[in-house]
């Protein structure tokens, strides 16, 4: 059991804190935002993440999980300090490390005994080396700390599951002592198989970027295959299924859609591209994934325009799904943003509905109509666009929809609607890479 302090209570920090306390460690989640900490101490969870509230509640009540806005005291009492603050995209694609730098500075001033300093935040390859230099220059004592890179592979909407049952845990460090401390934290994972890989710091940082950018490339690839399928009369679902039966390819992340969003893929790809460019290497595959993704979002808006014979003026479009993926309220880089902007720019009226992301989208577009259910949002609509693959959209009552809508146009950017039913009810529809029925 270890005494751990996590600095930063966003998606990564909160899930990591909850997960590490679930493993039996004593964890303090610290944040400078005292309002957020106050909320957490009264049971208010600031993010939507299935299963998170239950894990936090259980460990909070069993005195394994604490929340504090006293960063310094929280560092002083810890054996392991985990950096889990945001690394937003900065100039020319490089990750902005201002929050990380501030935390490193605070850590340097509070190393009252030996600690493992561990970075969970996604940071450009080479950042770990600079952090070690910064801390050493401040304290001039190599015995007082060791550094670890322990990147996260959490997907929003399944982050708790991904933390408690990870495919792998990467521990990047050149210190055997620190490696043993980290193995202690993740000990419960040994029960079935040992998912821990011990690497150098730079290798751990690279594994994170290489994994994320490959997943994004895979999505851009199947999106381009889908686009070609449309031109050649092939069906991308059958193509993807057959591809996925090859163990070297796997069927994961082969679902075509409107283009990937989220707080990770877009910024991680730009960051990797920037790091490679700064080192004199142009990564064409990463660049291609970004370009293909931007094109995919534009392609969806052109599909809608085509369905309305290039005239969206005064048309009411119901946009079903605002989050960048199902099971989250996060709209960062969501393809729905591009779609809503396009409809407005072309004189259309937007009726928006998402099971949980309405409030987030309202912060970006406060002058469109928001609804609390599908059927109110489609009343008198000329068309429907499905942007997020929420389960409730997979079983829409087409009879009711037909009755409520003014028009009969549906764009399904997630390929979740049954095409036979769409034809049966007389809808004019489009999707991504499917052979129309
Ligand atoms: C991603 C990585 O999966 C995770 O390992 C990393 O730690 C953080 O970034 P996240 O961005 O939360 O996780 O969601 P993810 O499920 O990867 O989806 C990202 C985007 O890709 C979403 O917009 C999703 O709709 C899209 N996507 C995903 C597809 O379009 N097709 C797919 O097959 C899978």
Average pLDDT of the chain, as a whole number: 97
Q: How far is the CA of 238 from the centre of ligand 1 (A)?
A: 21
Those residues whose C-beta lies under 8 Å from the C-beta of residue 85, and which sit 6 or more positions away, are 7, 8, 10, 13, 99, 100, 102, 103, 121
Gyration radius of the chain over CA positions: 24
Closest ligand 1 atom to the C-alpha of 219?
31
Compute the distance between CA of residue 237 and CA of residue 348 in angstroms, rounded to an integer: 31
Are 253 and 215 in contact by the 8 Å Cβ rule? The answer is yes
Q: What is the predicted pLDDT for the residue at 190?
A: 77
Q: How far is the CA of 152 from the centre of ligand 1 (A)?
A: 14
Compute the distance between CA of residue 102 and CA of residue 99 in angstroms, rounded to an integer: 5
Q: What is the predicted pLDDT for the residue at 37?
A: 98
Dump pLDDT digits (tens) for 227-258.
999 999 999 999 999 999 999 999 999 999 99
Dump pLDDT digits (tens) for 75-90.
999 999 999 999 999 9
Q: How far is the CA of 261 from the centre of ligand 1 (A)?
A: 7
Compute the distance between CA of residue 342 and CA of residue 273 in angstroms, rounded to an integer: 28
Count of beta carbons in the 10 Å neighbourhood of residue 328: 25
Q: pLDDT category, 91, cuts 50, 70, 90?
A: confident
Whether 192 has a pLDDT exceeding 70, the answer reads: no
Dump pLDDT digits (tens) for 14-62.
999 999 999 999 999 999 999 999 999 999 999 999 999 999 999 999 9
Compute the distance between CA of residue 402 and CA of residue 383 in angstroms, rounded to an integer: 11
Compute the distance between CA of residue 147 and CA of residue 142 in angstroms, rounded to an integer: 10
Q: Determine the angle formed by the axes of helices 11-22 and 52-61, rounding to 10 degrees.
A: 50
pTM of the model: 0.96
Closest ligand 1 atom to the C-alpha of 252?
33
The secondary structure of 58-71 as a DSSP string is HHHHTTSEEEES-H
Those residues whose C-beta lies under 8 Å from the C-beta of residue 150, and which sit 6 or more positions away, are 82, 118, 119, 120, 169, 170, 171, 172, 182, 204
Enzyme catalytic residues: 264
Residues with C-beta less than 6 Å from any ligand 1 atom: 152-156, 212, 215, 219, 253-255, 257, 260-262, 264-265, 324-325
Are 213 and 288 in contact by the 8 Å Cβ rule? The answer is no
Dump pLDDT digits (tens) for 305-314.
999 999 999 9
Q: How far is the CA of 254 from the centre of ligand 1 (A)?
A: 11
Under DSSP, the state recorded for 394 is G
Q: What Cα–Cα distance (Å) separates residue 331 from each residue in 266, 348, 415?
A: 13, 21, 20
Closest ligand 1 atom to the C-alpha of 389?
25
3 state DSSP class of 424: helix
Q: Which of 19, 155, 271, 415 to mutate to test the pocket of ligand 1 (most atoms within 8 A of CB)?
A: 155
Sheet holding 3-7, edge to edge: 65-68, 26-30, 3-7, 80-83, 115-119, 145-149, 169-172, 196-199
The secondary structure of 66-86 as a DSSP string is EEES-HHHHHHT-SEEEE---
Q: What is the predicted pLDDT for the residue at 193?
A: 74
Strand pairing partners for 353? 320
Those residues whose C-beta lies under 8 Å from the C-beta of residue 425, and which sit 6 or more positions away, are 398, 399, 401, 402
Which residue from 409, 344, 404, 345 is spatially nearest to 374, judged by alpha carbons?
404
Closest ligand 1 atom to the C-alpha of 212?
2
Q: How far is the CA of 73 from the centre of ligand 1 (A)?
A: 36
* 386: phi then psi, degrees, rounded to nearest 5: -95, 120
Dump pLDDT digits (tens) for 258-283.
999 999 999 999 999 999 999 999 99
CA-nearest residue for atom 13, ligand 1, is: 155
The alpha carbon dihedral of 156, 396, 373, 382 has a sign of positive
3 state DSSP class of 4: strand
């Amino acid at each position: 059991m270890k005494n751990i302090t996590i600095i930063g209570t966003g998606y990564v920090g909160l899930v990591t804190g909850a997960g590490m306390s679930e493993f039996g460690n004593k964890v303090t989640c610290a944040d400078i935002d005292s309002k957020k900490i106050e909320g957490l101490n009264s049971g208010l969870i600031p993010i939507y993440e299935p299963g998170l509230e239950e894990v936090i509640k259980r460990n909070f009540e069993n005195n394994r999980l604490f929340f504090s806005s006293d960063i310094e005291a929280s560092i002083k009492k810890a054996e392991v300090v985990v950096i889990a603050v945001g690394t937003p995209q900065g100039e020319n694609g490089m990750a902005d490390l201002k929050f990380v730098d501030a935390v490193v500075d605070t850590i340097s001033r509070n190393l009252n005994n030996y600690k493992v300093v561990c970075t969970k935040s996604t940071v450009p390859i080479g950042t770990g080396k600079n952090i070690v230099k910064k801390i050493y220059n401040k304290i001039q004592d190599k015995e007082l700390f060791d550094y670890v890179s322990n990147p996260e592979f959490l997907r929003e909407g399944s982050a708790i599951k991904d933390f408690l049952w990870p495919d792998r845990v990467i521990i990047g460090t050149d210190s055997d002592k620190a490696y043993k401390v980290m193995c202690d934290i993740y000990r419960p994972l040994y029960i079935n198989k040992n998912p821990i890989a011990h690497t150098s710091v730079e290798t751990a940082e690279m594994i994170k970027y290489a994994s994320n950018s490959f997943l994004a490339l895979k999505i851009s690839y199947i999106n381009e295959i889908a686009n070609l399928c449309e031109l050649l009369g092939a069906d991308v679902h059958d193509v993807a299924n057959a591809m996925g039966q090859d163990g070297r390819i796997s069927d994961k992340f082969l679902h075509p859609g409107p283009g990937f969003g989220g707080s990770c893929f877009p910024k991680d790809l730009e960051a990797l591209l920037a790091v490679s460019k700064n080192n004199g290497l142009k990564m064409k595959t990463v660049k291609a994934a970004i370009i293909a993704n931007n094109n995919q979002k534009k392609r969806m808006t052109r599909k809608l325009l085509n369905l309305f014979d290039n005239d969206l003026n005064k048309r009411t479009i119901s946009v079903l799904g605002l989050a960048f993926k199902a099971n989250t309220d996060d709209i960062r880089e969501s393809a729905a943003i591009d779609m809503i902007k396009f409809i407005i720019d072309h004189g259309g009226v937007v009726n928006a509905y998402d099971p949980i992301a309405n409030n987030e989208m309202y912060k970006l577009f406060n002058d469109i109509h928001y609804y609390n259910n599908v059927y109110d949002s489609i009343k008198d609509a000329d068309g429907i666009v499905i942007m997020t693959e929420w389960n409730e959209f997979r079983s829409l009552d087409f009879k009711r929809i037909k009755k409520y809508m003014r028009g009969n146009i549906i764009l399904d950017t997630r390929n979740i609607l049954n095409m036979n039913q769409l034809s049966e009810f007389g809808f004019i529809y489009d999707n991504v890479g499917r052979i129309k029925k």
